[in-house]
Amino acid sequence: MTAPAPTDRPTARGRWQLRDIVLLVVLGIVFGFVYWALVQAWYGVSFLLGPFADLSDHVLHGGWLLVAPIAIAITRKPGAGVAAEVIAAAVEVFLLASPFGAPLLLTAVLQGVGSELAFTLTRYRRFTWGVYALSGLGGGFVVFWWTAFTSGWYGQDIFFLRLGIQLLSGVLLGGLLAKVVVDALARTGVLDDFALGRDRRRVRRS
């Protein structure tokens, strides 16, 4: 019988360790800068879309979901996605003066919760392409309703177009791209001391 793929192997979550916390902080800081860069890209995409500029946020939204599944996949611990998203948002707000201000912290919580749902359903034990895709879908879906309320989208003719674009972006940029990033990092060996690395070694020995 063929052994399961390293990212599909059940794992014991265990306790939080100092290296897990340090990793979350590092990821949060790095992606705080990445998310800030996405804001700058958002301005450019808005210009390119011309009369459809109002949809640019949905096109790029999945990019703001990236750090949650990456943090979860590496540490395999509940809450890692929410924590990483909040740290990234804090960097954006307090260090990089994001134009979205302090409300971005609440958005980060919602993004993290939505992104964690898929992994929660698998008890943080399955990390397949499908689970990553569902993570991006969940992150985009959960935060959409709050943003729709604060931005006054309810009742618009293009309401469901907005939702569809955001969900697709979530799957592609916030889910599948995260899987690509995690697998690339795992191949370098830099994650060998984390839960992901331990699971990969366990699979190779089986």
Q: CB count, 10 Å around CB of 181?
A: 15
Kindly tell me if the per-residue pLDDT of 6 is higher than 60.
Answer: no
DSSP string for residues in 53-109: GGGHHHHHGGGGGTHHHHHHHHH--TTHHHHHHHHHHHIIIIIS--TT-THHHHHHH
pLDDT mean over 133-156:
95
**Contact between residue 176 and residue 184 where contact means Cβ atoms under 8 Å apart:** no
pTM for the predicted model, two decimal places: 0.89
**Contact between residue 69 and residue 81 where contact means Cβ atoms under 8 Å apart:** yes
pLDDT mean over 178-195:
94
What is the percent of the chain with per-residue pLDDT over 70, rounded to a whole number? Answer: 93
pLDDT mean over 77-104:
93
- Kindly calculate the radius of gyration of the chain based on its CA atoms and give it in whole angstroms: 17
How long, in residues, is the chain?
206
Measured CA to CA, the distance from residue 45 to residue 53 in angstroms comes to 7
Q: Which residue has the tokens 């307090």?
A: 94
| Cβ burial, residue 104 (10 Å; 0-12/13-18/19+) | buried
Kindly tell me if the per-residue pLDDT of 206 is higher than 90.
Answer: no
Measured CA to CA, the distance from residue 90 to residue 114 in angstroms comes to 18
pLDDT mean over 72-89:
97
Domain ranges of the chain: 6-205
Kindly tell me if the per-residue pLDDT of 181 is higher than 90.
Answer: yes
Measured CA to CA, the distance from residue 110 to residue 80 in angstroms comes to 13
Measured CA to CA, the distance from residue 200 to residue 189 in angstroms comes to 10
Query: Which two structure tokens, joined as six digits, stand for 127?
Result: 């990390």
